[in-house]
């Protein structure tokens, strides 16, 4: 499932600008950087994700004959633009923070260096890809920090914003540490473990709940997780207990039950007792139903005997912050650094690098944003990814990206690991970068 790579997946103004650039012969090298202006509310950090899809998009960038004919039919574009688009491929350089890297506002996470029209044209889709997965990974990471070792599963496809959002949310949440997803196609596309139980309709389609449980167990002997809240949760738990010996004779162990409504902590406690007293101490309890990291924290802090959680809508839509204030800005053209000074939206000019410094306890201490010429100190976070349109290193596996994300989360200062707003992380703008901004401002 490759992401859409059509050149037409862009804003109209990119095409009108490109036409003007071509007319004026403005095809010199441009440097654009993507960064986030400020953290959304309730976020102490962001977790970079989506770079792999950006590389796939850039590698596959093209316009089809049909699209070209349509562009021409609009009467909006001249032949210079149409000839330019025909056969256009991405030939630029890309530097980026690897997926699974923690980052903060004002830090570029991606740099594109390419002829101005080309670098301009790819803006919209690059933002679209990085904004979404980074937002989801950052949201999912909050649940991971709360859940500790309890497995979390993505149940969000039905309320994701379309198919691509559902697939990307499965990928980004797995990258952030989720155990897997319910989305079957994401399992196939990204090799993510898939999880699933049964729906209320399964119980309703049967004339009685016990028969429904039995039929499901026979069909899924290795994965008998029964949904018990269709009518009366505790009554259903007793039915599971009553059914278990018969199933055992057929070699089927009840693996667990799922709770999906009501007071989950209260039901979990009662159901745990019923299962334990009924000889099913091994049966696990999975909870779902409008969960988010806050409810997770409450349930876990309250000691609710829940073994794993399925999280859907809140994670897959990043419900409390459904966008990032990200920007893709021109920082240099034809060797001349530049920046935007619009009110509240000023940017730092030139090509930049971010260095991370660690405290004595090994945790992140502060970041330094500086010019690429400045030697800096600490771990540089931006690395080369593509050169002249070619990928430099093979794609990392999601397992590797998960490992990086886990390590990075473990290095966060404690104050940033809470769900509440922590003391903002220290992001320093270097003296050379401040000097450059001043110089640029004097030249306009």
Token pair of 93 as six digits = 């350089």
Interacting residues with a second copy between 402 and 421 (CB under 8 A): none
Q: Which of 35, 45, 174, 195 binds a second copy (CB under 8 A)?
A: 195
Q: Which of 101, 183, 370, 430 binds a second copy (CB under 8 A)?
A: 183
Q: Which of 336, 388, 390, 438 binds a second copy (CB under 8 A)?
A: 336
**26 near a second copy (CB under 8 A):** yes
Q: Which of 38, 83, 340, 390 binds a second copy (CB under 8 A)?
A: 340
CA distance 153 to 50: 20
- Are the CB atoms for 369 and 352 separated by under 8 Å? yes
- Are the CB atoms for 30 and 332 separated by under 8 Å? yes
Closest CA to 193 of 399, 404, 53: 399
Nearer to a second copy, 198 or 354 (CB): 198
Q: Characterize 121-151 residue by residue with b for buried, 16 or more Cβ atoms within 10 angstroms of its Cβ, and e for exposed.
A: bbbbbbbbbbbbbbbbbbbbbbbbbbbeebb
φ, ψ of residue 349 in degrees (nearest 5): -85, 170
**157 near a second copy (CB under 8 A):** yes
Nearer to a second copy, 29 or 276 (CB): 29
CA distance 335 to 241: 74
**99 near a second copy (CB under 8 A):** no
Taking the CA atoms of the chain, what radius of gyration do you get in angstroms? 26
**390 near a second copy (CB under 8 A):** no
Nearer to a second copy, 205 or 377 (CB): 205
Binding mask 229-268 for a second copy (x = CB under 8 A): xxxx---------------------------xxx------
Nearer to a second copy, 258 or 272 (CB): 258
CB of 214 to a second copy, least distance (A): 10
Nearer to a second copy, 9 or 419 (CB): 9
Q: Which of 56, 72, 164, 234 binds a second copy (CB under 8 A)?
A: 164
List beta partners, residue 337. 332
CA distance 70 to 162: 25
Interacting residues with a second copy between 301 and 330 (CB under 8 A): 313, 317-319, 322-324, 326, 329-330
Closest CA to 90 of 65, 59, 124: 59
CB of 413 to a second copy, least distance (A): 29
**8 near a second copy (CB under 8 A):** yes
Interacting residues with a second copy between 114 and 143 (CB under 8 A): 116, 120, 123-125, 127-129, 131-132
CB of 39 to a second copy, least distance (A): 15
**Residue 156 neighbours by CB distance under 10 Å:** 24
Residue 182 three-state SS: coil
CA distance 222 to 219: 9
């Amino acid at each position: 499932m490759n992401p859409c790579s059509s050149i037409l997946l862009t804003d109209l103004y990119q095409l009108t600008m490109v036409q003007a650039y071509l007319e004026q012969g403005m095809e010199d090298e441009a440097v654009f950087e993507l960064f986030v202006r400020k953290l959304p509310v309730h976020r102490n950090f962001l977790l970079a994700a989506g770079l792999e899809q950006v590389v796939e998009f850039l590698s596959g960038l093209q316009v089809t004959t049909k699209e070209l004919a349509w562009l021409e039919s609009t009467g909006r574009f001249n032949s210079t633009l149409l000839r330019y688009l025909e056969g256009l491929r991405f030939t630029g350089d890309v530097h980026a923070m690897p997926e699974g890297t923690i980052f903060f506002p004002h830090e570029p996470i991606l740099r594109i260096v390419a002829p101005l029209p080309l670098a301009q044209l790819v803006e919209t889709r690059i933002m679209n890809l990085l904004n979404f997965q980074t937002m989801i990974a950052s949201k999912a990471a909050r649940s991971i920090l709360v859940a500790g070792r309890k497995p979390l599963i993505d149940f969000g496809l039905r309320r994701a914003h379309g198919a691509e959002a559902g697939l990307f949310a499965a990928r980004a949440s797995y990258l952030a540490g989720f155990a897997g997803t319910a989305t079957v196609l994401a399992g196939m596309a990204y090799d993510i473990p898939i999880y699933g139980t049964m729906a209320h309709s399964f119980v309703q389609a049967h004339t009685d709940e016990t028969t429904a449980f039995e039929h499901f167990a026979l069909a899924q002997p290795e994965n008998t997780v029964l949904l018990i809240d269709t009518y009366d949760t505790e009554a259903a738990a007793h039915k599971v207990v009553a059914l278990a010996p018969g199933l055992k004779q057929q070699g089927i162990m009840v693996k667990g039950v799922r709770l999906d409504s009501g007071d989950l902590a209260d039901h979990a406690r009662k159901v745990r007792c019923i299962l334990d007293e009924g000889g099913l101490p091994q049966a696990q309890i999975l909870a779902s139903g409008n969960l988010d990291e806050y409810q997770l924290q409450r349930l876990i802090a309250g000691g609710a005997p829940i073994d794993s959680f399925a999280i859907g809508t809140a994670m897959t839509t990043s419900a409390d912050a459904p966008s990032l204030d990200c920007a893709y800005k021109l920082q240099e053209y034809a060797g001349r650094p530049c920046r935007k000074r619009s009110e509240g939206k000023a940017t730092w000019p030139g090509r930049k690098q971010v260095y991370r410094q660690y405290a004595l306890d090994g945790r992140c201490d502060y970041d330094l944003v500086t010019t690429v010429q400045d030697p800096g100190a600490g771990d540089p976070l931006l690395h080369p990814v593509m050169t002249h349109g070619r990928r430099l290193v093979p794609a990392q596996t999601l397992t590797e990206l998960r490992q990086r994300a886990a390590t990075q989360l473990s290095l966060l200062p404690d104050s940033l690991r809470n769900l509440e707003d922590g003391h903002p992380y220290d992001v320093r703008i270097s003296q050379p970068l401040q000097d450059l901004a001043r110089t640029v401002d004097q030249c306009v």
